[in-house]
Amino acid sequence: MVEDRRLAVLRAIVEDYVSTEEPVGSRALVERHQLGVSPATVRNDMAALEEEGFIAQPHTSAGRVPTDKGYRLFVDKLTTVKPMSAAEQRAISSFLEGAVDLDDVVQRSVRLLAQLTRQVAVVQYPTLSRSTVRHVEIVALAANRLLLVLILSTGRVEQRVVELAGELADDDLAQLRTRVNRATIGEVISDAALALDDVVDQLPREARPVATAVVAALVEAMSDHRSDERVAVGGTSNLARFGDGFESTVRPILEALEEHVVLLKLLGEAGSGGAVTVRIGHEGPYQQLATTSVIATGYGPEDQALASLGIVGPTRMDYPATMATVRAVARYVSRILNEA
């Protein structure tokens, strides 16, 4: 009973501090919350919470504020994540479904997350290595030039232009296109790259030099992991609205957010199945971001986490609502990729 009551007091302190941005006193707790106990009992519970490191007094004669440890207990004890309204869900759906390609999906997701949470939004592009091949198109741009278009399960598109030493007949081009797609469609790109090795030997001898050049370009496109480190960021201006000493840490935070390696490490490993991870304050990997929390989850087609998205904001945030938003956006993005 005592533990449950103190948890209720902690929850009330977190909620009030997030909404008012002011240290919370025992009198305010009694007035604003139906705790069912006397002010003296609330003061005793606050003293116990402070002794255990869940709340702290920023200065003499002030109320109390949650610590990183307090926020962690608050998040861990959440029984439900605040549900999004039907209007919010419709807004997310209509905004994201207007996207025309993967880049547009990612950019829209960043803007949407930043607007809904009023935090800094971070979206990782789907990793190439986990994708499967959806289609390969081979188009003749000229008699001795081909355009290769590799379309992946994530909606991602890789293009390569191949200059040929000689010309390729239309029938040979059609046969090459058919055999390439037969060998690669539905395969994880690492397996697809291996399967392409057999394509050249299946073609007439006179078509093999061109096929070799095409296969080499496709394998190179499938092996190009440079874009696996692409990250989109939005809403950095939101950092300027947080007070209570947070402004002194904005510059190092902005500097850290400029490094994509830092952002990828912040997001962590993408979790599947809608699991949302919350890292609070000093739990994160970078000291310069110790005043922030990161809420992230994985997204991808068919419940397969190909990448992560999330938000970075001050530890004083509305965790239930932010977690719900991050999860909802990830689900909608996953659905779009699944239907693409």
Across all residues in the chain, what is the average pLDDT?
Answer: 84
* pLDDT given for residue 227 in this prediction: 53
pLDDT over 80 at 326, yes or no: yes
Task: Using CB atoms within 10 Å of the CB of residue 39, give its burial: 0 to 12 exposed, 13 to 18 middle, 19+ buried.
Answer: middle
DSSP-assigned states of every residue in 55-109: EE-SSTT--BEE-HHHHHHHHHT-SSPPPPPHHHHHHHHHHHHT--SHHHHHHHH
Residue type, 241: R
pLDDT score recorded for residue 274: 64
Query: pLDDT digit string (tens) for 209-239?
Result: 888 888 899 988 887 655 556 888 888 888 7
The stretch 10-18 carries a mean pLDDT of 93
The predicted model gives 70-97 an average pLDDT of 84
Whether the full predicted model's pTM is greater than 0.85, yes or no, is no
Of 25-34, 132-141, 250-259, which range is least confident? 250-259
Which of 272, 263, 247, 273 has its CA nearest to residue 310?
263
169-198 residue pLDDT tens: 788 888 888 989 999 998 888 888 888 888
Flag whether pLDDT at 84 surpasses 90. Answer: no
pLDDT at 48: 94
Q: Once rounded to an integer, what is the mean pLDDT over residues 57-74? A: 88
Confidence at residue 285, expressed as pLDDT on a 0 to 100 scale:
79
Average pLDDT over residues 156-163: 87
pLDDT of residue 249: 62
280-294 pLDDT, tens digit each: 988 887 877 888 899
Give the type of residue at 276.
V
**If pLDDT is split at 50, 70 and 90, which confidence band does 265 have?**
confident
pLDDT tens per residue, range 200-215: 887 778 778 888 888 8
C-alpha distance across the termini of the chain, in Å: 52
With b for 16 or more beta-carbon neighbours within 10 A and e for fewer, the 170-195 pattern comes to eebbebbbebbbebbeebebeebbeb
pLDDT at 44: 92
What CA–CA distance (Å, rounded) separates 23 from 63?
5
Residue 71: is its pLDDT beyond 90? yes
- The CA angle 256-279-246, to the nearest 5 degrees, is 55
User: So what's the pLDDT on residue 340?
Assistant: 59
**Domains of the chain, each with CATH number or no CATH:** 2-76 (1.10.10.10), 86-126+228-339 (3.30.450.40), 129-224 (3.30.390.10)
